[in-house]
Amino acid sequence: MRIAFAAAVPPAEGTWVVLAGSDGALGPTGSELDRRTGGALMRALKDRSGNFKRGEAIELRYPAGLELDRIVVLSLGKPEEASRYDLETVGGNLAVRLKGLRVRAASVAVEVLGGLRASDTAISLATGASLRAYRFDKYRTAKDDLEDQNDQLEQLTLHLDEPGAAEAAWRAAEAVIAGVAHGRDLVTEPANVLSPEAFAEACRELGPALGLEVEVHDRAALERLGMRALLAVSQGSAREPRVATLRWSGGPPDQPPVALIGKGVCFDSGGLSIKPASGMEEMKWDMGGAAAVFGAMKALAGRKAKANVVGVLGLTENMPSGTAQRPGDVITSMAGLTIEVVNTDAEGRLVLADVLHYAKEQFKPRVMIDLATLTGAIIVALGHEQAGLFTPDDELARRIQDAGAAVGEKVWRRPLGDDYAKHIKSDIADIKNVGRNRQAGATAGAVFLQRFVGDVPWAHIDIAGTAWSKEDRPLAPKGATGYGVRLLDRLIADHYEA
């Protein structure tokens, strides 16, 4: 969908959207249209009895006295109470409503309402509409699918005073949206297309256009580095593993980077501890953490963030074969810690163990944050509404929670500590890769990862419940959500830019 900003003009043709408060208060354009239609808008709003909820819309088709196809009155709720994210959800609702009306182009009259700045409102509405209008149509060929594609909203023009200011702000917002969309694309791709090698190639392609420094380590390089935990996960697959680093240097040259770490298991069969067949097709999105980091790096570079950030992606497949690792194997990680592999389906933490240690030693970061679809246990605990946050650092926890709340990507802090570290004590190695049966499974994964971060401030975000959705969400259609891209971008914008 194309977004444009234009000067405020009187509505003349096509579909126009005007804004209203929950009490039915209209802006100047809405009031003028109401006058020209003989009070039709206010009569329609009267039916809502002062309860015009945020995001709801009323449609008037072929309004008398005008050459317009339709007027859509869109509620901002109580504007004085609306956050940026609230307004984004209104934009998402608008995109859904216009698609349902088979509108391919629409104009929005954005005016000061309830103290909101018109440019801020315009950016928020455009952001929400763009995120919600996302589609992945790459493999659709059937006639009915193609017809459905032709019903999409293609153009949204926001009319306001001083559109130039909105256009300037939109460039940064658009870069973040592009990062979310690209991350969703990667998660949605089938595993026969998005192999670890193909994911690494996508990283290479991203670099030249955005000024990212990209390095890809192949199997031979990983063997030289001693990433034996990651390699153990990959040894059952015919696909070669990769570790990709994407570096953005937008801050002071001497400032240590923020390190973003992503689990990129492009397909997770469970290995020899094989998963049930039912639902296994969903395991193509077990690389959602790597996709989120990829999308965040694209967003940061696209908007030229004034920060030094490195993204490190551990890319592999977890497959059963005669060469796969076995339950009971003991492997030695890059950090030198030995790991008893009790369950080969707890593979993500093995991948991250080596990648976290590598990021710590190679880049000397000021903070490390990893994202991973790590455990089903976090879904049992939190459902699909929030991700699990694990960190021993109270200030870092607060920053991540605030960033997530601001963009609608919520996190809930979960416990760590020595009591839980006992859960991964092994009888024959330094640690084992699972905890106690059906006890604090998500925390067991987190305390495992904590063994590889040293003294660097660190947070782990378990996104197993939020990377994919089986139902539509305010800013995402069902499927890949792109969770984490906007959270990371907002966190860095608020706390780590120069």
- Cβ distance 231 to 314 under 8 Å? no
Please give the Cα distance from 429 to 410 (Å, whole number).
36
Q: Residue 261 and residue 164: Cα distance in Å, rounded?
A: 37
Strand order in the sheet with 338-340: 330-332, 338-340, 431-432
454: left (phi over 0), alpha (psi -120 to 50) or beta: left
From CA 107, how far away is CA 124, in angstroms rounded?
15
Catalytic residue (choose from 70, 263, 349, 451): 349
Q: Which of 48, 104, 135, 275 is catalytic?
A: 275
Phi-psi region of 231 (alpha: psi -120 to 50; beta: other; left: phi over 0): alpha
User: Which amino acid belongs to residue 428?
Assistant: I
Residue 297, CB-side half-sphere exposure with 13 Å CA sphere: 35
Nearest CA to 104 among 152, 72, 70, 59? Answer: 152
| Catalytic residue flag (residue 304) | no
Compute the distance between CA of residue 423 and CA of residue 405 in angstroms, rounded to an integer.
31
Strand segments (E) across 98-232: 105-109, 155-159, 213-217
Nearest to 17 by CA among 7, 29, 9: 29
CA geometry: angle at 54 spanning 50 and 57, to 5°? 80
- 330 pairs with which residues across the strands? 340
Q: Which two tokens stand for residue 86?
A: 């609230």
CB neighbours of residue 202 within 10 Å: 18
Which residues on adjacent β-strands are paired with residue 462? 372, 388
Q: Is 48 a catalytic residue?
A: no
Active centre residues (catalytic): 275, 349
